[in-house]
Structure 1
């Protein structure tokens, strides 16, 4: 806590929001509602409110990371997501792979993406090629 905080105001906000380690979905929803109330203030947040907001967000992130862990995306997951986002079919990226057969094998997970293909995919999708390695 920084020394510029008004101790009485900060204590009052803590008493109102009652931040604590989240271990139930009910508590998660309650703290999300508290965050919404603070976010609605926008630029008008006091230093004390901003400090409580940061604390609540930290608690919520901790709970969500534990409760809903995300697995890292594989190069194939990224390729599928980029194709989906752009409405592309396999036939639309055959030129990147050089043949229908290789494109099919890569897209269906039967062949990994080579370094040259990763570079070509990076150029095609305008993203860093390292996403596909």
Structure 2
């Protein structure tokens, strides 16, 4: 229970918890078993530490979109329903609107702030 409730205090501890989380999640057989629940509770502590202490470099929204498309093997034509201006957005010549940011966030299952500069 300590792993799931105690805040992480150091980078060394975050690495230890991540390893323990992976081991616990490997034992999981469904989204409802205790291994899965405990693994995600440890992930919550890791996320809290990262949000508080780790500063990620700023990535422009169009660069993030391009990276996500590449990682998920998504072609621009597959995103035309979100924006008809997808090519201009990818090039960085057109900004992503808030409505488009919501749709991209839902599509890629990431926080909306990824697409808002």
Bin of the TM-score, shorter chain as denominator length = 0.3 to 0.5
- TM-score after normalising by structure 2: 0.47
In the superposition, the TM-score normalised over structure 1's length comes to: 0.42
More helix by share: 1
